[in-house]
Amino acid sequence: MLRAFSHTNGRCAFHHAKCWHHRKSVLAIRREDVNAWERRAPLAPKHVKELTQMGYKVLVQPSNRRAIHEKDYIKAGGIIQEDISEASLIVGVKRPPEDKLIPKKNYAFFSHTIKAQEANMPLLDEILRQEIRLFDYEKMVDHKGMRVVAFGKWAGVAGMINILHGLGLRFLALGHHTPFMHIGMAHNYRNSSQAVQAVRDAGYEISLGLMPKSVGPLTFVFTGTGNVSKGAQEMFNALPCEFVEPHELKEVSRSGDLRKVYGTVLSRHHHLVRKRDGLYDPVDYDKHPELYTSRFSTDIAPYTTCLINGIYWEQHTPRLLSRQDAQKLLVPVRSAAGATEGCPELPHKLLAICDISADTGGSIEFMTECTTIDSPFCMYDADQHIIHDSVEGSGILMCSIDNLPAQLPIEATEYFGDMLFPYIEEMLLSEGSEPLESQNYSSIVRDAVIASNGSLTAKYEYIQKLRESREYAQSLKMSNKKRVLLLGSGYVSGPVLEYLTRDSNVDITVASVMKEQLEQLMKKYSTVTSVHIDVIKHEEKLSSLVKKHDLVISLLPYSAHPLVAKKCIDNKVNLVTASYLTPAMKELQESIEAAGITVISEMGLDPGLDHMLAMECIDKAKEVGATVVSYTSFCGGLPAPEHSDNPLRYKFSWSPQGVLLNTVQSATYLKNGEIINIPAGGALLDSVTPMDFFPGLNLEGFPNRDSTKYAEPYGIQTAHTLLRGTLRYKGYSKTVGGFVKLGLINPDPYPLLSSTMPPLTWKELMCKLVGIKLPAEYHVLKEAVFSKLEKDKSQLEAVEWLGLLGDEPVPAADSIVGALAKHMEMKLPFGTGERDMIVMRNEIGLRHPSGHLEDKFIDLVVYGDNKGYSAMAKTVGYPTAIAAKMVLDGEIDAKGMVIPLTKNVYGPILERVRAEGIVYSTRSVIKQ
């Protein structure tokens, strides 16, 4: 029954529907067209029937997508009609397209404009231009500020069903079949009653003790006390559940009954405390929320299996969970004695979050994008701060659909319509063209009018001010934005982009010759600009790109860095690279200093983290008066042992060409006071020694470049031994030595491999390299190669295994080593589920003032992630990105050539890489 209300201007009084307007008013229900899943309507047939019985005409736009059939609206007295222009009030659920608006009408829908949401400002502009009166359901509130028209309950119901389904999938991915596997997504049920029955069936199995014991008791935490939370709890109650107080969670999560599940409802006073005294004062909190912090991450989350979040976050209020909180919560638990491979324990307690609020960047800081009904779940990996579309892998299962009630459209429509119906008549009995002041609306309806007669209403004039302030802030932000040019799109670029894109004040352009890699990066980082270009071949375009940016990060091969550096000098732009500071780069030192720019080199793993770990130890030793008597550092990027099954015992997780060229460099090192020189061209591979500090890994090592040059910058001229080297699995050096013998590790230009020349096969190229005429029989070529390899069978087997004697085409390249690198990248990639590792060992011998000796051992071992970044990408990319950010922020302001040897540089970087999961260990051995 409609509320009784009256016009006070004396023209007419309305009580029920006994008094009629001067003409028959028309209501239209518009077709929803915002997305494929929007099957709701603002009014159900029962509401239409009541309106038509009261004498109103109701038009319903045809829609095969609407969950309630047209015949039901027709039966209720509605008229199915495309043209709704005669209606005085047009109602919908979601916003209409701008081009479907009809001037000077009354419209009611969720406009999402009250926060000056940028995406909906064109709609608001069009509403104002067409002098439309807009009622926004979101602002229909009672005297307490509580919404009187909302879908909230059904968001909670659908969200709870979905997350129970998601838990079934997540448990299965972790090795556990559970009763939740028999619960589907909310939209798979005809109505909520069917869903309740499915949940009850699952609950019955739980009550029989059919949950795997190794997963432990399950706990669900509900935030908020509104309709959203109540709807979720209503569905949860279909399980064999027991509600406990938040402080009881710890106990039940450890020793609760496996034949039931536990729930708790969280209010503010359970987790919010004032920073200065640890107390909660609700009045004070409402006035000064910034003075409070949340203890949710320490007091509640560690004992929570699934969080159902129904609260919105306001600026200056504490968040429930931050990214750092998630990292701590996802630390693997120790396996209990009873856990087995077939009956594993959960990796951590917090498994899933259903963020029904769908408030991106809100109370759950790392919920940065909503999921969809099509793709309802994703995994948040806190260590890498990445989200991947899966229920497998590391992290927290996330569900954050922003239109949950659309999954139960019939019940949601009836529920919403019941709430809206009491206010329909007063909205209907007015013309949008009439002045708002002449309408005798109730306060609930009047306060929901956003715009009327071409203007924002007084209550919402702030929207224009918000827009202006945001646009002003954006203009300032754009003028203050830091612009970064990233050259290269290979393995390392992912962590660099991931780290830098965390700051919305950094604009990034990626330039690369690898089109497919660029496309993949753009899919993941939509705010990044891509440029498909070979910067080496197009120097003018490179210069133009550099000129537009504040900083360049070069992930190109080291041979390209002098060219890039020259362009940076010309345009006075800072540069960061992870590669060695080569003689060619050193030659530019005066020009770099004259340009007043910062050029940072050796900011990766090796070189990079090896310097930083060494200098941290050396500086601490000097502080206590010790001197360094020896320094040895070995580092290598390797496949994890179980994935080293090929002749090289190697797979590529970074630049293949760089890996190959490193084997033909010269090397110089100091051993027991004697300088050892190894010439370029492959002699390095004859200087291999077994490395047994991790005996199970069967490693070998060989010197890397000129180690002696670090005596002065490290400040360790007192050392009698100074050696830096590369680690590989035993057998690598011998195999690569065969490639050197055959002339395959040759960086010189080789025009026959140019893309403009007819393609060569590997067989044809090998014939040229070993000096036999074409065509040649396979056995003739094989014998010639075997001879060139000095009859080494293992080296020949590697050549054959790689297909270098066959008819496969040689990739186009500038050089033979470039072609071999491309070929190896295809032959020796990391497969799905395979991971790499990096191993670093620094050994530093110290002599203390007392005369006793001490050996310091610093170990860094990092594994790659199956579905994330490789270990090499992380340990090169994150230090590079952190250094770049420090330059952008002015933390590194030294001009000229910089490598990370000073505490003001290495200190912050070592601290920040720990937050990215790059953790090292140190131990000492004292000698008398």
d(CA 597, CA 591): 9
Q: Where are the beta strands (DSSP E) in 513-624?
A: 529-532, 551-554, 574-577, 598-600
Contact 198, 182 (CB under 8 A): yes
Question: Residue 424 has what pLDDT?
Answer: 96
Instruction: For the chain, give the mean pLDDT.
Output: 89
- Per-residue pLDDT at 423 exceeds 90: yes
Query: Quick one: angle between helices 871-888 and 903-914, nearest 10?
Result: 130
Q: Give residue-wise pLDDT tens across range 605-645.
A: 988 999 999 999 999 999 889 999 999 999 988 999 988 88
Strands 574-577 and 551-554 turn out to be parallel
3-state secondary structure 430-487: CCCCCCHHHCCCCHHHHCCEEEECCEECHHHCHHHHHHHHHHHHHHHHHHHCEEEEEE
pLDDT (average), residues 854-870 = 88
* Ramachandran quadrant class, 564 (left: phi over 0; alpha: psi -120 to 50; beta: rest): alpha
Question: Residue 2 has what pLDDT?
Answer: 42
Contact 833, 651 (CB under 8 A): no
Neighbours of 145 (CB within 10 A): 6
- Per-residue pLDDT at 866 exceeds 80: no
Contact 165, 202 (CB under 8 A): no
d(CA 3, CA 341): 65
- Per-residue pLDDT at 12 exceeds 50: no
List the single range of 213-222, 270-279, 380-389, 851-860 with lowest mean pLDDT: 380-389
d(CA 457, CA 114): 12
DSSP 64-126: SSSSS-HHHHHHTT-EE-S--TT-SEEE-SSPPPGGG--TT-EEEE----TT--GGGHHHHHH
Q: Give residue-wise pLDDT tens across range 94-148.
A: 999 999 999 999 999 999 999 888 888 999 999 999 999 999 999 999 988 889 9
d(CA 352, CA 359): 16
Q: Where are the beta strands (DSSP E) in 830-876?
A: 836-847, 853-863
- Per-residue pLDDT at 9 exceeds 50: no
Q: In sequence order, what are the residues at sequence separation of 6 or more whose Cβ sits closer than 8 angstroms to the Cβ of residue 83? A: none
Catalytic site residue from 355, 507, 606, 865: 606
Contact 897, 579 (CB under 8 A): no
* Cα-to-chain-centroid distance, residue 493: 14
Q: 């009809």: which residue's tokens?
A: 102
Tokens of 564: 């890039």
Tokens of 481: 């934005």
d(CA 856, CA 631): 10
Question: Residue 1 has what pLDDT?
Answer: 34
d(CA 108, CA 98): 14
d(CA 64, CA 783): 73
- Per-residue pLDDT at 54 exceeds 80: yes
- Per-residue pLDDT at 781 exceeds 50: yes
Give φ, ψ of 594 to 5 degrees: -65, -35
3-class state of residue 835 by DSSP: coil
0.85 surpassed by pTM: no
Q: How many residues does the chain have?
A: 928
Closest by CA to 874, choosing from 835, 828, 902, 830, is: 835
Question: Band of the pLDDT at 384, cuts 50, 70, 90?
Answer: low
Contact 474, 507 (CB under 8 A): no
Q: Give just the sign of the alpha carbon dihedral 312, 316, 318, 321.
A: positive
Contact 293, 207 (CB under 8 A): no
Tokens of 322: 């931050």
Q: Give residue-wise pLDDT tens across range 208-227.
A: 999 999 899 999 999 988 89
Residue 355 annotated as catalytic: no
Query: Quick one: angle between helices 493-500 and 871-888, nearest 10?
Result: 40
Question: Residue 117 has what pLDDT?
Answer: 83
Question: Residue 17 has what pLDDT?
Answer: 38
